[in-house]
């Protein structure tokens, strides 16, 4: 605003200096000044009201406020990992619907698609310390549990006698 006011004052001073003095005195001079002021004001108002795209008025008296930032979506090279995995149990294997899930709250579903009862235990890889366990399910049944898993590798295994030794163990990666 200060820059615009200074520019207007300079234009008025230049216009007043270049106008010829008339013989009729101060009254004619004032009328000419008013007319010149209106013309200049109208020109200034037009340029302020309708600036061109390449010409922007900048108020130097106040610091520019930072533009609000919108939340950025995840980068395309960093996809969001799923938080659900289904485990199919049959004689004598466990099959994961996906080998990798995201860390945090992970929903695990045990589906008994075999002919014998099966259960499931989740423990950190290399240990048999249960972090979560599922009921023993009859064929055709399923159960879902949600576990808080940090990044790492987890062993999922059937704890019924002899089932793990027969191949009912699988590794789930959490990232």
- Spell out the residues 6+ positions from residue 61 whose beta carbon is closer than 8 angstroms to its own: 1, 2
* Count of other CB atoms within 10 angstroms of residue 86: 15
Nearest to 145 by CA among 154, 156, 134, 136: 134
> In this predicted structure, which of 28-37, 66-75, 106-115, 122-131 has the lowest mean pLDDT?
28-37
Instruction: Tell me the C-alpha distance between 35 and 75, whole Å.
Output: 61
Nearest to 96 by CA among 83, 105, 84, 86: 86
Instruction: Tell me the C-alpha distance between 52 and 71, whole Å.
Output: 31
Instruction: Tell me the C-alpha distance between 38 and 48, whole Å.
Output: 15
Whether 173 has a pLDDT exceeding 90, the answer reads yes
Q: Which domains does the chain have, with CATH numbers?
A: 2-49 (no CATH), 84-174 (2.60.40.420)
Name the band, by pLDDT with cuts 50, 70 and 90, for residue 175. very high
Q: What is the pLDDT of residues 116-170, one digit of tens each?
A: 999 999 999 999 999 999 999 999 999 999 999 999 999 999 999 999 999 999 9
Query: pTM of this prediction?
Result: 0.56
Whether 22 has a pLDDT exceeding 50, the answer reads no
Which residue is listed with tokens 């200049």?
40
Whether 72 has a pLDDT exceeding 80, the answer reads no
Helix intervals (H) in the chain: 2-18, 26-49
């Amino acid at each position: 605003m200060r820059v615009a006011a200074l520019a207007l004052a300079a234009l008025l001073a230049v216009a007043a200096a270049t106008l010829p003095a008339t013989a009729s005195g101060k009254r004619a001079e004032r009328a000419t000044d008013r007319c010149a002021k209106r013309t200049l004001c109208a020109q200034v108002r037009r340029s302020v009201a309708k600036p061109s795209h390449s010409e922007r008025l900048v108020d130097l008296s106040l610091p520019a406020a930072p533009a609000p930032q919108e939340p950025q979506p995840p980068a395309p090279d960093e996809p969001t990992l799923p938080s659900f995995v289904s485990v199919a149990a049959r004689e004598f294997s466990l099959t994961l619907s996906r080998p990798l899930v995201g860390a945090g709250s992970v929903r695990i579903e045990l589906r008994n698609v075999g002919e014998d009862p099966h259960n499931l235990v989740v423990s950190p890889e290399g240990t048999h310390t249960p972090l979560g366990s599922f009921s023993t399910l009859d064929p055709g049944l399923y159960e879902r549990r949600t576990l808080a898993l940090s990044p790492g590798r987890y062993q999922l295994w059937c704890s019924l006698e002899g089932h793990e030794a027969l191949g009912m163990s699988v590794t789930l990666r959490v990232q």
